[in-house]
Amino acid sequence: MIVINGTPHDTEITDPRRSLLDHLREDVGLHGPKKGCDQGGCGACTVLVDGRRVLACLTLAAQAEGRSVTTVEGVGRDGGLDPLQEAFIEHDGFQCGYCTPGQVCSAIGMADEVARGVPSRVSPEIGAASFDLSPDEIRERMSGNLCRCGAYNGIVAAIEETYLDGPR
Amino acid sequence: MNADPIVGRAVPRRDGPAKVSGAASFTAEVPVEGLAHAALVCSTVAAGEITGIDLTEARSAPGVVAVMTHHNAPAIRIAPLLITLRGASFTRAPVMQDARIRWNGQPVAIVVAETPEQADHAASLVRVGYAPAEGRLVFDDLKVGAPQPDHVQGEAPAVLRGDAEAALRTAAARVDQVYRTPWHTHCAIELHATTVAWHDERSLTMWDATQAVTHSQATLAEVFDLDPEDIRVVSQFVGGAFGNKMMWSHQILCAAAARLARRPVRLVLSRSDVFRVTGGRTRTEQRVALGARANGTLTALVHEATTTTGINDGFAEQCTFPARVLYGADSFGIDQRVVELHTPANSSMRAPGESVGSFALECALDELAEQLDVDPLDVRAGLEPAAHPTTGKPFSGRHLLEAYRLGAERFGWARRSSTPRSRRDGPWWIGHGVATATYPYTRMPGGRASVTLSADGCATVRTAAHEMGMGTATVQAQYAADHLGLPLDRVRFEYGDSRHPAAVPAGGSAQTVSIIASVVAAARALTAELLHLAAPDSPLAGAGAGADDVEMRDGGLHPRDGGPGESYAAILRRAGRAELAAEGAASPPTETAQHAMHSYGVQFCEVRVHDVTGEVRVSRWLGVFDTGRIINPRTAASQFRGAIVMGIGSALTEETIFDERTGRVLNASLAEYHVPVHADIPPIDVAWLGHPDPMAPMGGKGVGEVGMVGVAAAVANAVHNATGRRIRDLPITPDKVLGL
Ligand code: FES
Ligand code: FES
């Protein structure tokens, strides 16, 4: 059983080799998580597992057993979009939109890491309780999510605006 | 026309909510009943023959449905090249028709199985024997005496005016250097995906991640000898393409395998397949020689470029095009050569030709400016020609000097130090560079669109084109709303399906204006239909009006002379019609016959170069563009920025590495081919002049490619300004900066 976007799913994992990414896309029918490389190189498949961002292409579906998985389809609120998603639209943080679900999930996971005091290479002080989400921090921490359309400026602006008052 | 135009407004993307919520459906996600999955087996040698293929293990692997090789592939004819406008291929290589190997990565078998995992596993069990032959692989050996291509994108391979070499010899100042750029790969984040379902022996539907819907349909018809009417190609959202998502062998093989398997089949290329099965951008070697007087005017401009193609392909990368149009000179010596190699075909990659060609030309100008001790921007301004320097045609609109002025002011160019290696911030050397950008305006013939009015007063515009991030759906709805005189929310735009009227491929920054020209034609036809329908008791009837006597505004037709008009809804209601449709074909693109039409721009950059590690960081950017009227500032700015980002990648990190012994791509993954990431990209400032081009439909010129042109040169020039090192060989990696 995997809890996906708040709902328990008993969907059969048809092949032991099946990645969490293929399980979500092919078996569960959630196409938000994207496949850009299937080898951990692009971040398009980023989902949240128990609130932490992971690459679904490098995670076996079987590893998610008993855990809670959130995909981009599950980040919205009250049937609408999350403010982060709205900010992506407002700042034109995408063009083709293929990397976008991964960017959105990654940003949510990243904001939580910042709130928990997980440092990055550019953090001023290791061991601080939490960090400001400066554009430099955002760029550093989001660098596992490639955007070949080059929408980076818009993505950073959207994240910065959304978490201006700290991660929620 | 709308009194308060929607064109020019920063309207948010129509597909935004779908794209940020995961609801936008890409090709690999289309649900198809009874689907089987395919995987490719690709050659591991670059040239030679297949001596045998052992399928015993693969055939008996779990889940395998069919295996196709050249032994059981159907007859497949040669795919028409994109340049012919009859197809969408970059190569004339036969697709799985013989035992011959033409490049390392050529598909030699396709395996179809119940699941993707089973297909991948079975593909790993296919044993292929090769008799390798000596391949054409070493560029440096083969470039000597390389032949001229028949043409370079339809233009002459050489342009000779006067005796440039003689002028060079006697010039007061002279730069004569060789510049090199490596192979590049597009690396759209969406993997190429295609799904094919045959309905019977002669008709099929293909869902494909393509930037050429209509031309893919035409290609399939040609290669399988089918009627285009019996082929449907669907491509709605495309996850990035940049010139690479045209017709390659994998779509053809997927279709052939689906026929063999008698099942719908989906093929998603692996990331390494994308690098090896499809083609990227050629490497280039370019000599630029400039002869100048002491005042900076040019007596000679020489640009000689050698590029590569695959075996028997046709695409000579137009690196010398900027040198043909940008600057005045007394004499020109322009020449292009092509080396055929056992590599994948050369394909169009964002700003093909101009992006890498401008690296050579714009670096050489910087070197000349240094020699003359004149500001590089002033050198360029002093070379501004009155008419196209090599064809003599008048420019339709060219405002480069204004862009230079505006850019210099906005960037603070005057504060740049003209002495290299003179500014430092801790361990970082700081430098500034500039380069000019240009990209030709094109409008491909053959585009069509339809406009359908419904009784509720809404309009639906349809064309076969797709959406790959340029904002097509948004900007076309904006344009159509203005043209039809409707509010934006009353215009729908349907696209991405060959059942809609034919579209031109997205290429050459030409699609937007091509669709606009088609919509203009369709609206004109619609006007005639409406007048025909307008009953005798309609206010329009008395006007005796022809299409030229009325205008489309305020949701209806109105006589130009100010008499009473009637709404579309009222005309339809009176006539008892639920809807009214008309289709139109874009006028032939005659505007370029008399005028030289180009987009222009200027790129300013600041870099920081680490004294110890040689690392280059781009810290500031400004691009100023002269691309005619901008339909949507929001999506246009994103296109400019995205192109600059790709240019920064080409400047600093991007290189597809072929092993010259085996012809194999060595870095066929996103871990080893380094596209820019968030941390590489500073805030990018973009601005545009917005002067409508008097010759272009709606005054718009292409914005998608010009943004990449000049970027690598601006970076290289800034690195020189920062460190005093001239790097003429992309990418500018730390070893080169340190002179190792
Ligand atoms: S698909 Fe998982 S990182 Fe690229
Ligand atoms: S929006 Fe296209 S890859 Fe990011």
d(CA B467, CA B451): 19
Q: B703 versus B51: which is more confidently predicted?
A: B51
- In eight-state DSSP terms, residue A82 is -
pLDDT band of residue B546 (cuts 50, 70, 90) is confident
From residue B117, give the alpha-carbon distance in Å to each of A53, B25, B64. Answer: 25, 22, 11
Q: How far apart are CA A21 and CA A18, in angstroms?
A: 8
Cis (ω within 30 of 0) for the bond into B5? no
> Alpha-carbon distance B503 to B477, whole Å?
16
Whether the pLDDT of residue B152 is over 60: the answer is yes
Task: Confirm or reject contact between A74 and chain B (CB < 8 A).
Answer: no
- Is residue B7 a part of any domain in this protein? no
Residue B146, domain member (yes or no): no
In this structure, what CATH number is given to the domain that contains residue B90? 3.90.1170.50
Domain match, B289 and B436 both: yes
Cβ-proximal residues to B565 (8 Å cutoff; 6+ apart), any chain: B539, B540, B550, B554, B556, B557, B558, B559
Measured between alpha carbons, how far is B72 from B678 in angstroms, rounded to an integer?
Answer: 47
Q: Does position B507 have pLDDT exceeding 70, yes or no?
A: no
Least confident of B195-199, B453-457, B467-471: B467-471
B300 shares its domain with B353 = yes
Q: What's the CA gap between B412 and B170, in Å, rounded?
A: 37
Give the SS3 label for residue B30. coil
Same domain, B457 and B423: no
A117 touches A129 (CB < 8 A): yes
Structure tokens at B599: 């987009």
Whether pLDDT at A34 is above 90: yes
pLDDT digits (tens, 9 = 90+) for B41-95: 999 999 999 999 999 999 999 999 999 999 999 999 999 999 888 999 999 999 9
Task: Tell me what the mean pLDDT of segment B177-198 comes to.
Answer: 98
Whether B465 and B394 share a structural domain: no
Distances (CA, A) of B376 to B416, B436, B558, B602: 11, 10, 54, 12
Low-confidence winner among B92-101, B426-435, B512-521 (lowest mean pLDDT): B512-521
What is the distance in A from the centroid of ligand 1 to the CA of A44? Answer: 5
Percent helix / strand / coil, chain A, rounded to 5? 35, 10, 50
- For residue B508, name the pLDDT band (cuts at 50, 70, 90): low
> Residue B721: pLDDT above 70?
yes
Are B602 and B642 found together in one domain? yes
Closest-CA residue to B416 (of B728, B726, B722):
B722
Give CA–CA dist A151/A96, Å, rounded.
10
Q: Is the pLDDT of residue A126 over 80?
A: no
A42 touches chain B (CB under 8 A): yes
pLDDT of B511 above 90:
no
Is B386 found in the same domain as B263? Answer: no
Instruction: Please answer yes or no on whether B26 and A89 come within 8 Å at the CB atom.
Output: no
Determine which helix (DSSP H) or strand (DSSP E) holds B123, and give its type and residue range: helix B116-124
Give the pLDDT mean for B25-45: 97
Do B551 and B597 belong together in one domain? Answer: no
Element holding B214 (H helix, E strand): helix B213-224
Residue B542 has pLDDT above 70, yes or no: no
**B342 and B457 part of one domain:** no
Quote the percentage of chain B above a pLDDT of 90: 88
In chain A, what are the domain boundaries? 2-74, 83-162
Mean pLDDT for B357-361 is 98
- For chain B, give percent helix, strand, coil, nearest 5: 30, 25, 45
ipTM above 0.95, yes or no: yes
Q: Of ligand 1's atoms, which has the minimum distance to the CA of residue A35?
A: 1
Secondary structure of residue B450 in the 3-state scheme:
strand
Average pLDDT over residues B573-584: 93
pLDDT tens-place string over residues B318-330: 999 999 999 999 9
What 3-state class would DSSP assign to B122?
Answer: helix
Greatest mean pLDDT among B470-484, B569-583, B721-735: B721-735
Q: What is the pLDDT of residues B604-641, one digit of tens each?
A: 999 999 999 999 999 999 999 999 999 999 999 999 99
For ligand 2, whether the C-beta of A152 sits within 6 Å is: no
Residue B145 lies in a domain: no
For residues B550 and B540, the answer to whether their CB atoms sit within 8 Å is yes
Q: Is B686 domain-assigned?
A: yes
The residues, any chain, with a CB within 8 Å of residue B636's CB and separated by 6 or more, are B627, B630, B688, B703
Answer yes or no: is pLDDT of A39 > 90. Answer: yes
pLDDT at residue B232 above 70?
yes
A146 lines ligand 1 (CB under 6 A): no
CA distance B122 to chain A (A): 14
**What is the domain-level CATH number for residue B301?**
3.30.365.10
Each residue's pLDDT tens digit, A128-164: 777 788 999 999 999 999 999 999 999 999 999 999 8
The reply to whether A95 touches chain B by the CB within 8 Å rule is: yes
Integer Cα distance of B474 and B467 in angstroms: 10
- Amino acid B534: pLDDT: 81
The answer to whether residue B619 is domain-embedded is: yes
In this structure, the answer to whether residues B93 and B193 fall within a common structural domain is yes
User: Which residue is listed with tokens 């709303």?
Assistant: B481
Question: A83-162, superfamily in CATH?
Answer: [2Fe-2S]-binding domain (1.10.150.120)
Give chain B's mean pLDDT. Answer: 95
Q: What is d(CA A48, CA A110) in angstroms, rounded to the nearest whole number? A: 10
Q: Where does the pLDDT of residue B450 fall: very low under 50, low under 70, confident under 90, or very high at 90 and above?
A: very high
Cβ–Cβ of B16/A95 closer than 8 Å? no
Strands A68-70 and A52-55, sheet pairing? unpaired
pLDDT of residue B549: 86
Out of B92-106, B115-129, B489-503, pick the least confident: B489-503
In tens, the pLDDT along B419-449 reads: 999 999 999 999 999 999 999 998 888 889 9
Q: Which of B588, B621, B655 is the last residue of a domain?
A: B588
Q: Which ligand is nearest to the CA of A57?
A: 1
B471 shares its domain with B534 = yes
Instruction: Quote the CA–CA distance of B281 and B345 in Å, as a whole number.
Output: 9
Q: State the catalytic residue, choosing from B362, B367, B370, B705.
A: B705
Q: B624 and B436 in contact (C-beta within 8 Å)? A: no
Query: Residue B302 pLDDT > 60, yes or no?
Result: yes
Distance A55 CA to ligand 1 centre (A): 6
Q: How far apart are CA B111 and CA B123, in angstroms?
A: 6
pLDDT digits (tens, 9 = 90+) for A47-104: 999 999 999 999 999 999 999 999 999 999 888 999 999 999 999 999 999 999 999 9
Q: What is the pLDDT of residue B502?
A: 86
Residue B10 lies in a domain: no
Concatenate the DSSP letters of all residues of A13-64 into one string: ---TT-BHHHIIIIII---SS--S-SSSSS-TTEEEETTEEEEGGGSBGGGG
What ligand 1 atom has the least distance to the C-alpha of A58? 2
By DSSP bridging, strand A2-4 and strand A68-70 are parallel
Domain-embedded: residue B143: no
Same domain, B605 and B554: no
Tokens of B371: 């020699």
The string of pLDDT tens digits covering residues B658-672 is: 999 999 999 999 999
**Residue at a domain's end among B224, B253, B277:** B277
Where residue A167 falls among pLDDT bands split at 50, 70, 90?
low
**B545 pLDDT tier (thresholds 50, 70, 90):** low
For residue B180, count CB atoms less than 10 angstroms from its CB and return exposed for 0-12, middle for 13-18, buried for 19 or more.
Answer: middle
Shared domain for B397 and B457, answered yes or no, is: no
Cα B625 to Cα B605: distance, rounded to the nearest angstrom: 15
> CA angle, corner A150, sides to A149 and A152, nearest 5?
135
| Residue B503 pLDDT | 79
Instruction: Please give the pLDDT value at position B444.
Output: 82
Count of structural domains within chain B = 3
Torsion over CA: A34, A38, A41, A46 (sign): positive
Domain carrying residue B96: 32-134+189-241+245-277
Euclidean distance between CA atoms B168 and B186, whole angstroms: 37
d(CA B337, CA B306): 5
Tokens of B499: 């059942």
> Cβ(B697)–Cβ(B520) under 8 Å?
yes
Residue B543: the pLDDT is 55
pLDDT digits (tens, 9 = 90+) for B556-573: 999 988 888 899 999 999
Catalytic site includes residue B705 = yes
Cα Rg for chain A, rounded, in angstroms?
Answer: 16
CATH 3.10.20.30, domain A2-74, yes or no: yes
Q: B 673-692 residues with CB below 8 A of A? A: 675-679, 681, 683-684
Kindly state whether B33 is in contact with chain A, defined as any CB-CB distance less than 8 angstroms.
Answer: no
At residue B85, the pLDDT reads 86
In a domain, B733, yes or no: yes
Residue B392 confidence (pLDDT): 96
